[in-house]
């Protein structure tokens, strides 16, 4: 909306959406502040995070330069390639932390599943928008198969967190495409029926353990329940105003595991309390709202579906991470987007925002 009447602003020409950029920069500022505390005041970690962030922003701005039509054209072949790579990972992938996720290309190791996070909503959006919406049943079935195949391959690695996020990004595109409520209800019933199958045949022991631990973390306080107990203690002891920056005893004294990656939210909550959480949540909702506005204002169905799916997936990231760290959801390996320490997820997320900026800034040219 903002840039509707001012086609030639500097930001427009740079293909950067300023309100979104400001929101993202604010979140990255929060990230650096919390990371400094979570790392035990090691500046090296901050420097590395800043380098990664710069790289991620370069990717974001780079992707924003490409028009949405480019994405709709290239998404299906990349998707196919991604599926092939996933099969390769399963066949001869690099094993790290007990799971096969990495593909070693000699020079770099990378996770094909990360690419799927972006290509999945793109492909579904491209497929559905190539037909009139709401989609016909046949197209729905094909779209669902396209969601399921990579999801299962990723779940097999095993990487439940990424599998869920990839599946969700595709499903959101289908939902936004206008699948009828009756079918949604039917699918919900189907998933409920599928859960026991998942539990008994598809889940690994450690995944089952995570779910059990989630249901009753106190049953194993020193083993698998340790993470969630310590995390809840950290959050709870933060109280309304928090213990203050660098004063979180749970994190500074290292009771909290994975405190600069997946559990960084616990560090944040311990030091900044409920007030801090409200501000962080507001920041996230601001970014999401901006992305939704971009999507609603987009001119084609592909742009709308892709933008909406990326936005909703981003929210799922936030919700799943905070939910698991605060004990609402089982522990799945999902970082707190833009705040957790880590390169891969940062680049993927920034790429998503780059695509959203592309949707926003290429509108007039396409119109």
Q: Which residues bind other proteins (CB under 8 A)?
A: 131-134, 136, 172, 175-178, 230, 232-240, 249-250, 253-255, 269, 273-274, 277-278, 281, 285, 288, 292, 295-296, 299-301, 304-305, 308, 312, 315, 319, 322-323, 326-328
10 Å CB burial of residue 84 (0-12, 13-18, 19+) is exposed
Instruction: Give least dist CB 261 to other proteins, A.
Output: 17
Instruction: Give least dist CB 272 to other proteins, A.
Output: 10
Instruction: Give least dist CB 285 to other proteins, A.
Output: 6
> Which is nearer to other proteins, 11 or 319 (by Cβ)?
319
Q: Distance between the two ends of the chain, CA-based, in angstroms?
A: 14
> Which is nearer to other proteins, 192 or 367 (by Cβ)?
367
Q: Angle 104-260-332 (CA atoms, 0-180°, nearest 5)?
A: 65
Residues with Cβ within 8 Å of 58's Cβ and at least 6 positions away in sequence, in order, are none
Instruction: Give least dist CB 175 to other proteins, A.
Output: 6
Residues with Cβ within 8 Å of 70's Cβ and at least 6 positions away in sequence, in order, are none
Instruction: Give least dist CB 56 to other proteins, A.
Output: 24
Instruction: Give least dist CB 321 to other proteins, A.
Output: 10
Instruction: Give least dist CB 253 to other proteins, A.
Output: 4
Instruction: Give least dist CB 304 to other proteins, A.
Output: 5
> Which is nearer to other proteins, 16 or 171 (by Cβ)?
171
DSSP 3-state of 332: coil
> Which is nearer to other proteins, 115 or 234 (by Cβ)?
234
Instruction: Give least dist CB 314 to other proteins, A.
Output: 10
Preceding omega of 158 cis (within 30 degrees of 0): yes
Length reported for the chain: 367
User: Is residue 247 within 8 Å of residue 236, measured between CB atoms?
Assistant: no
What is the number of alpha carbons within 13 Å of residue 143 lying toward its C-beta? Answer: 30
Residues with Cβ within 8 Å of 88's Cβ and at least 6 positions away in sequence, in order, are 103, 112
- DSSP letter for 101, please: E
> Which is nearer to other proteins, 115 or 320 (by Cβ)?
320
10 Å CB burial of residue 265 (0-12, 13-18, 19+) is buried
What is the number of alpha carbons within 13 Å of residue 165 lying toward its C-beta? Answer: 31
> Which is nearer to other proteins, 326 or 340 (by Cβ)?
326
> Which is nearer to other proteins, 236 or 342 (by Cβ)?
236
Which is nearest to 173 in space by CA: 58, 351, 312? 312
> Which is nearer to other proteins, 56 or 293 (by Cβ)?
293
* β-strand partners of 102: 94
What is the Cα–Cα distance from 76 to 138, expressed in whole angstroms? Answer: 18
> Which is nearer to other proteins, 113 or 313 (by Cβ)?
313
Instruction: Give least dist CB 18 to other proteins, A.
Output: 22
| Buried residues in 194-207 as b, exposed as e (16+ CB within 10 A) | eeeeeeeeebeeeb
> Which is nearer to other proteins, 111 or 321 (by Cβ)?
321
10 Å CB burial of residue 123 (0-12, 13-18, 19+) is buried
């Amino acid at each position: 909306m903002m840039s509707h009447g001012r086609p030639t602003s500097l930001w427009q020409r740079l293909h950067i959406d300023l309100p979104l950029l400001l929101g993202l920069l604010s979140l990255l500022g929060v990230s650096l502040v919390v990371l400094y505390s979570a790392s035990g005041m090691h500046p090296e970690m901050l420097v590395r995070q800043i380098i990664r962030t710069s790289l991620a922003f370069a990717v974001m701005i780079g992707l924003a330069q490409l028009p949405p039509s480019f994405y709709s054209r290239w998404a299906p072949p990349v998707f196919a390639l991604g599926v092939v790579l996933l099969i390769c990972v399963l066949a001869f992938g690099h094993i790290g932390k007990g799971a096969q996720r990495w593909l070693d290309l000699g020079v770099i190791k990378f996770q094909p599943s990360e690419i799927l996070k972006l290509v999945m909503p793109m492909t579904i959006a491209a497929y559905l928008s190539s037909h009139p919406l709401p989609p016909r049943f046949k197209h729905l079935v094909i779209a669902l198969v396209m969601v399921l195949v990579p999801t299962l391959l990723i779940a097999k690695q095993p990487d439940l967190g990424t599998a869920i996020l990839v599946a969700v990004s595709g499903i959101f595109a289908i939902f936004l495409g206008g699948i009828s409520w009756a079918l949604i209800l039917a699918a919900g019933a189907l998933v409920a029926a599928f859960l026991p199958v998942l539990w008994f045949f598809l889940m690994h022991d450690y995944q089952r353990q995570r779910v059990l631990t989630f249901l009753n973390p106190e049953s194993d306080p020193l083993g698998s329940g340790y993470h969630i107990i310590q995390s809840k203690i950290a959050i709870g002891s933060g109280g309304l105003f928090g213990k203050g920056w660098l004063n979180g005893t749970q994190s500074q004294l290292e009771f909290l595991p994975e405190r600069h990656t997946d559990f960084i939210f616990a560090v944040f909550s311990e030091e900044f309390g409920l007030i801090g959480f409200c501000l962080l949540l507001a920041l996230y909702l601001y970014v999401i709202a901006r992305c939704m506005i971009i999507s609603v204002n987009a001119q084609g169905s592909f742009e709308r579906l892709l933008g909406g799916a990326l936005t909703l997936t981003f929210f799922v990231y936030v919700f799943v991470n905070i939910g698991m760290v605060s004990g609402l959801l089982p522990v799945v390996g999902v970082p707190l987007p833009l705040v957790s320490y880590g390169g891969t997820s940062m680049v993927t997320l920034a790429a998503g925002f780059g695509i959203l900026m592309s949707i926003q800034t290429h509108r007039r040219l396409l119109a």
